[in-house]
Amino acid sequence: MRKLSTVFCAAVVAVLAPALPAGAAPLAAVQAAAAVPMSAPGGTVPGLTGAAAKAAAGPAADRFLEIRRAQAGRAAPRAAAQKHTFWGPEPQPATSADGLVVTQSVTPNLRISNSSDVVYAPTMKPTGHSCVEVVTAYGLGQAAQVWAWDWCRSVSPAKVVPIDSAFLANYASTVDGHPAYTVQEVRTNTTANSWTASLRNVKTGAWDTLFTQSGSDQSGLAEGWDIFELYSTRNPATGNAYYCADARGAVFESSSLRLRVAGQWVAASATNSPLRPTANPRPADYDCSTLRFEVPSPNSTWRVTV
């Protein structure tokens, strides 16, 4: 992978003023603006692992696994009272991509009020039967979290990182007016199907390892994705889902989505990463009349405003 020049980085930093805690230099915004992944290795992202990670993720992890199994045709979907919906680009297997890099928005103060509902947005997994899905999760009244979901071994949240002040200071910068982090996942060994997901540390300029795993992908899905995803229940008093009021005014955005193809990073497009399930979603299908879907840069940047 190529590095950005010092002069170029300095020029971009000068025009991207941070709106986060002191010391949170906007390097993720630099990456988003330049759309070129950087290669400096770093440390390890702090977080919970093993049983502690599963406990921290709570029932939201059960909903997540249920969604994926239903998508793969391995389980029946939930009762009609609760709806699973999603939208966003899905990199196709034909691209032969073995990596993905993208900048993902976060809404640190969002809490979901209904005990059964979860918002996974954005959530991403490269094509090529990758072992790791990196999820931005909101649900069940708990604080916002970033998960490294292990699809090759435990099939569970193998690492959970709270989106707290420490996370914002180390990994978030201001992108399009809201905090966001940059995540990269690449296949490091084809024979073993080994994958490493890393977060861009805005203080050090290095990629800190989030999670590494190898083995056989058990998701049952060949395509990749970078999507806005819901598990929602309609409030009979309003006609909208509960998340619609909980997240009113929130922006969920994914920007500068790029795929690694034959060793080169290429922007996601309508050809290699079509929007699913439709290019023009209807707010009514997501039980939220105020939703606005936008694709500022087809299909490398998408935005959902509640």
pLDDT tens column, 276-293: 999 999 999 999 999 999
- Three-class DSSP category at 168: helix
pLDDT tens column, 87-106: 999 999 999 999 999 999 99
Q: At what angle do helices 27-34 and 6-15 cross, to 10 degrees?
A: 110
Indicate if the pLDDT at residue 118 is higher than 90: yes
Indicate if the pLDDT at residue 219 is higher than 90: yes
17 band by pLDDT with thresholds 50, 70 and 90:
very low
**Quick check: is 1 in a domain?**
no
65 band by pLDDT with thresholds 50, 70 and 90:
confident
* For range 111-125, the mean pLDDT: 94
**Quick check: is 244 in a domain?**
yes
**Quick check: is 195 in a domain?**
yes
**Quick check: is 126 in a domain?**
yes
**Quick check: is 248 in a domain?**
yes
Question: Which phi and psi (to 5°) does residue 286 adopt?
Answer: -110, 10
> By mean pLDDT, which of 61-70, 104-113, 211-220 is the weakest?
61-70
| 70 vs 289: which has the higher pLDDT | 289
Q: Compute the distance between CA of residue 200 and CA of residue 57 in angstroms, rounded to an integer.
A: 23
Range of the domain at 52: 6-305
Indicate if the pLDDT at residue 232 is higher than 90: yes
What is the number of other CB atoms lying within 10 angstroms of the CB of residue 11? 12
* For range 245-251, the mean pLDDT: 97
* Helical (H) or strand (E) element with 254: strand 251-261
Which pLDDT score is estimated for 78? 53
73 band by pLDDT with thresholds 50, 70 and 90:
low
**Quick check: is 249 in a domain?**
yes
| 276 vs 141: which has the higher pLDDT | 276
Mean per-residue pLDDT over the chain, rounded: 87
% residues pLDDT > 90 (the chain): 76
Q: How many domains does the chain have?
A: 1
Residue 261's DSSP bridge partners are 264
Q: Answer positive or negative: Cα dihedral of 203, 19, 33, 209.
A: positive
**Quick check: is 79 in a domain?**
yes
* For range 135-156, the mean pLDDT: 93
115 band by pLDDT with thresholds 50, 70 and 90:
confident
Q: Compute the distance between CA of residue 82 and CA of residue 115 in angstroms, rounded to an integer.
A: 12
Contact between 101 and 224 (Cβ < 8 Å)? no
Which pLDDT score is estimated for 15? 31
Q: Compute the distance between CA of residue 56 and CA of residue 128 in angstroms, rounded to an integer.
A: 29
Q: Compute the distance between CA of residue 87 and CA of residue 276 in angstroms, rounded to an integer.
A: 6
Sole residue written with tokens 């073993």: 192
Q: Helix H segments across 4-115?
A: 6-15, 27-34, 50-57, 59-71
pLDDT tens column, 25-40: 344 444 443 345 666 7
Indicate if the pLDDT at residue 76 is higher than 70: no
